[in-house]
Amino acid sequence: MYLKNRKRYGNQTSVRGSTGYGGVNTQQSPDLSIVHYRQVRFFYYKGRARMMRGKTCAPILLILSASLFVMAGCGPAFEIAPFTLSFASGSGDFNRDGLTDFVIVHSGAGRIGYLAVFLQQPGNPGHFTKQTIISDADPDYAVAVQDLNGDGWDDIIVGCKPQAIAVYLQDPSNPGTYTVNRYSIGHNFDSIVIGDLNQDGRPDIAIAWYSSSGGGVTILFNDSAFPGRFLQSVEALSYGAGLGSIAVADFDGDGINDFAATCHTLGKILVYHQNAGAPGTFAAGIEISVGGDPGHLVARDLDGDGRADLVFRSGTNVDILLQNAANPGHFFPLQSFTVGSSADWIDVADLDGDGRLDIVTASYDAKNVTVLLQTPGTQFMNAGSYDCGDPAFTVKIADLNADGRPDLLVAASRGNLIFFQYSSNPGYFYNSGFLEPG
């Protein structure tokens, strides 16, 4: 384990999102200068946003709605090119009103990425007001949501270009305003996971990465002196092949978090245990040969025995490894359940209210999401697929209309979809249509 030669903190910028518009049915605000969509395009060059009409400004604040926007800090308001890719999604309660909100990462080749935060409207369940937040962090993929500094407000962590992450800390005195810190990772990666990885009670950030010569796990530890800021990155694991996805949980029953990661080139799951006497350091546990192409990985207690199990996608299957309660840190033989199409992203929750955790997958190639409902004996029944109309990057389970039932949020290539759960048919969903184009 070693420390890389990096700055203590990343570059910091303050940004604010707009709350001036209603979600899908956008209305103009008389307090904002408005220009029509599709007039002026931005391009990104050497860390600054430039407009093709020649005006240049630091990308401090950009406020958008569904089809209109305003820019502050550099003269007249202009607009950016339309985005077509919605790469990842996360959910939280960003304004602490007790309703579930969500965030989407929008990106595209040669374009500045941005975050779109959707606040559920009080008194109008299932409808949202959109905040769009652009900064020079240039978010691109892999988003996570959690309160990182203990102030009670949800923050946002996102992968960004090139080979970095950005942490958006929300200002509790001015909700909707974020301070952005950027941290270089120096490697390509696909997923971010949050968990306490050094026993100090604060959430840390773990990333599994890959390169042409190998892979590893990088951890950014939360700074105890400045909660929500992160110290120099630590390479907790260096491996001879690229790693794709990572999950954090207590895998050996000692009460502290460990991690597991997928190695798709070798068809393995790696489990590393945190050293109880040396917080933030890890020892190799086991390597499990699972074959195929293990991808997105989630740790959940599927069988209700109080121990974390592993769920991951592998080709057209969802595979699970149930932990052996009699031998903590070890797992029973692999079980596979057919999805019927490529499974690129998974999420796990109790969808039908029977007390058992179920699984949902998103498929890029099949352009759909598939639901697997758990049956007695920790078996899973394919309960059908739902057409998205476009390649689906990720799926997130959350109650998005305040009825107490989990719904499905999908980040698809041309926009974001919500599948609401039927109140009379638990575990089954209907398509509400595109919530918002990218």
pLDDT digits over 87-118, tens only?
778 999 999 999 999 998 887 666 678 888 99
State yes or no: pLDDT of 437 exceeds 70: no
Token pair for 208: 């599994």
User: At residue 202, what are phi and psi to the nearest 5 degrees?
Assistant: -110, 145
Cβ pair 330, 281 in contact under 8 A? no
Please enumerate, as own/partner, the contacts of 318-322 that have beta carbons within 8 Å and a separation of 24 or more: 318/343, 318/346, 318/359, 318/361, 318/372, 318/380, 319/290, 319/292, 319/294, 320/378, 320/380, 321/269, 321/288, 321/290, 322/378
Q: What is the pLDDT of residue 435?
A: 62
Which of 6-10, 32-36, 389-393 has the highest average model confidence (pLDDT)? 389-393
**What percentage of the chain reaches a pLDDT higher than 70?**
78
Q: What is the mean pLDDT of residues 153-173?
A: 93
pLDDT tens figures, 262-294: 999 999 999 999 999 999 999 988 999 999 889
In contact, 243 and 210? CB cutoff 8 Å: yes
Q: Say yes or no to pLDDT of 133 above 70.
A: yes
Residue 196 CA neighbour count, 13 Å, CB half: 13
* All residues at 6 or more sequence positions from 428 whose CB lies less than 8 Å from its CB, including other chains: 371, 383, 384, 421, 422
Token representation of residue 78: 């202009």
**Mean pLDDT, residues 356-364:** 96
Asked if 118 and 104 touch (Cβ cutoff 8 Å), the reply is: yes
List, in order, residues 6 or more apart from 384 with CB less than 8 Å away: 370, 371, 428
Per-residue pLDDT averaged across 240-258, rounded? Answer: 95
- Residue 438: its pLDDT value, please? 54
Q: Extract the tokens encoding 357.
A: 């955790």
What would the two tokens of residue 73 be? 């800090």
Distances (CA, A) of 16 to 8, 171, 174: 25, 10, 9
The residues pairing with 34 across neighbouring beta strands, listed in sequence order, are: none
Q: What's the CA gap between 41 and 394, in Å, rounded?
A: 28
69 in Cβ contact with 76 (< 8 Å): no
Please tell me the chain's helix, strand, coil percentages from 3-state DSSP, rounded to the nearest 5. 0, 50, 50
Sign of the dihedral through C-alpha 169, 87, 423, 118? positive
Average pLDDT over the chain reads: 81
**Residue 403 · residue 382 · CB < 8 Å:** no
Any idea what DSSP says for residue 332? P
Q: Which residues contact 310 (CB under 8 A, 6 or more apart)?
A: 247, 260, 269, 297, 298, 299, 320, 321, 323, 331
What integer is the mean pLDDT of 125-137?
A: 85
User: pLDDT band for position 343 (50/70/90)?
Assistant: confident
| pLDDT surpasses 50 at 18 | no
pLDDT of 413 reads 83
Helix (H, G, I), strand (E, B) or coil at 322: coil
Encode pLDDT of 47-89 as tens digits.
333 333 333 333 333 333 332 232 223 333 323 344 446 677 8
